[in-house]
Amino acid sequence: MTGMKERKMDRQGILRLIETLSQKKIDMAGKDFLLTWEKSRDEIEATFLVADIMRAMRENNISPKVWDSGIAVSNFRDNSTRTRFSFASACNLLGLYVQDLDEGKSQIAHGETVRETASMISFLSEAIGIRDDMYLGEGDKYQREVAKSLDEGVAAGVLPARPTIVNLQSDIDHPTQSMADFLHLVHYFGGLDKLKGKKIAMTWAYSPSYGKPLSVPQGIIGLASRFGMDISLAYPEGYDLIPDVVARSDKQAKASGGRLTVTHSMDEAFRDADIVYPKSWAPYDVMLKRVPLLHAGDQSGLKELEKTALANNARFKDWECTEQKMKLTRDGKALYMHCLPADITDVSCIAGEVAASVFDRYRNDTYREASYKPYIIAAMIVLGKFGGTAAILRHLVERNGIREQN
C-alpha cells in the first residue's frame, strides 16, 4: 500500500508543508466548517495540509498546542464512540478541554433556547462540535441557527470571541469523515492530483439494520466531485439521496473534469473502480417519515417503519461487497473503504455489507482511513479560528514544545 511506504516526515518537511500552506488563498477564519462544498478548492487543500502538518508535528514530538486553556464543546445527539474520541483527541492536541453538552435526544432546540444555550456555553469556548444526523431536514439547520446565535453574541459584545463550529455529521454532510477519507486517498495514491480520473464507486450495501444516515454517501460524492473523479453512485431503486446534493455533485463533477453516474447496479459501479465504498443507508423517504415519529417519540410507529424498511432492505441482500464483486474492480484491487463499523457477513451479522475475507484484507486500510479524523478536526478548528494559521504553525515548530518527555 502506498500509504505505508511513506517515510516519516522530518522538521524540514514540516516547514515545507507550512510554506505550501502559506500560499493557499483561503478565507476560513471566523467561519464554520459545515459543508465541504462551501469551501474553495484551496480551502480544502489547506485543511488537508494543516492536518498533515499536525500529524507530522506529533510524530516528531513537537507539541501542536495552540491553546494553554480553553473549552471545546461537544454536542452529540447520539452515542458515537468514534466521533467522541476523534473530537476529544483533536481538541486535546490543540490544548482545549472538552465539555459535553447533553441536550435531550428527542427534541431539537429552537429559537430562544438555541440563542441562549449557544451564548451560555461559549463565554470561554473556542470550538463547538455538533453531531446531529438523525433528523432529515433539521441537522444542518440547527448548526446554522447556533452559528447565527454566536454571530449575534459577538456583535453584541456578549462573547469575547467567536467559537468555530465543526459539523461532526449533519443530515446533509459529514465533512470530518469525507475529509479524513480523502486525506487517506491522497496518501494512498500519492497526491491529490492523482485522484483525477480515478473511478470511485460509492454504493449502497445491504445491512440488517435500517435508518443509517445519508450523510456519508452525500459527503463522499460532494467531495469526490471536486477532484475530477469518475464517480459511480449506485443504489437499489428507492434508496435515493437528497436530490439537491446529487445535483450539486453532478455539477461539481463536470466543473472539475470528472463525472457522476447514477446506476442501480452494484456490478456496474464496481467495474474497473479504483476505489469502492460500499455502505448502507436508509432510503430518503424513510428518513423523512422517521422525523415526525422521532419527535413524537412514537415507538410503535418507529417499530412499524423499521419493519417495513427492513423487509424492503432484505430484497437487496445481494448488494454485498464480495470477493466476486471485488474481482470486477481495476485489476481486482480497488481500495475498499468504510467509515466503520462495517456490517461484516458472518462476523457482525449473518448477511451484511461486506464479506469477511474482503474486510479482513482491508482492515488496516480502514483503520488508517479513520486515523486521519482527529487531525482533520484539529485542522478545521485552527483554520476556523485564526487568520494566519501558517504563521502560527511555523511558530509552534520553532517554539519546539515537547509533547512527550521520552
Determine which residue in the list 12, 23, 81, 299 makes contact with its own copies, applying CB under 8 A. 81
**Structure-derived torsion over alpha carbons of residues 9, 85, 217, 134, reported in degrees to the nearest 10:** -160
- Within 10 Å of residue 7's Cβ, how many Cβ atoms? 6
List the grid coordinates of 217: 454517501
**60 touching its own copies, by CB under 8 A:** no
Closest distance between its own copies and the C-beta of residue 128, in Å?
12
Determine which residue in the list 9, 262, 347, 351 makes contact with its own copies, applying CB under 8 A. 347
Task: Please choose, out of 109-117, 132-140, 216-224, 230-238, the segment that lies near its own copies by the rule CB under 8 A.
Answer: 109-117
**63 touching its own copies, by CB under 8 A:** yes
Q: Which of residues 217-256 bind its own copies (CB under 8 A)?
A: none
Q: How far apart are CA 143 and CA 123, in angstroms?
A: 18
x/- letters, 249..288, toward its own copies (CB under 8 A): ----------------------------------------
Q: Which of residues 151-180 bind its own copies (CB under 8 A)?
A: 153, 156-160
**191 touching its own copies, by CB under 8 A:** no
- Report the side by side order of strands in the sheet with 125-131: 97-100, 71-76, 125-131, 164-167
Determine which residue in the list 19, 247, 367, 400 makes contact with its own copies, applying CB under 8 A. 367
Closest CA to 316 of 283, 357, 362, 290: 283
Distances (CA, A) of 153 to 148, 162, 303: 9, 8, 42
Task: Please choose, out of 132-140, 163-171, 181-189, 370-378, the segment that lies near its own copies by the rule CB under 8 A.
Answer: 370-378
Task: Please choose, out of 123-131, 204-212, 236-244, 257-265, the segment that lies near its own copies by the rule CB under 8 A.
Answer: 123-131
**Structure-derived torsion over alpha carbons of residues 80, 266, 245, 225, reported in degrees to the nearest 10:** 100
Give the residue with the Cβ less far from its own copies, 94 or 287.
94
Q: How far apart are CA 318 and CA 329, in angstroms?
A: 17
Closest CA to 269 of 238, 240, 235: 235
Give the residue with the Cβ less far from its own copies, 75 or 167.
75
**14 touching its own copies, by CB under 8 A:** no
**148 touching its own copies, by CB under 8 A:** no
Give start and end residues of each alpha helix (H) in 104-190.
Answer: 112-120, 139-155, 175-189
Q: Which of residues 383-402 bind its own copies (CB under 8 A)?
A: 385-386, 388, 392, 395-396, 401-402
Chain centroid to CA 167: how far? 8
**190 touching its own copies, by CB under 8 A:** no
The residue to which cell 518537511 is assigned: 13
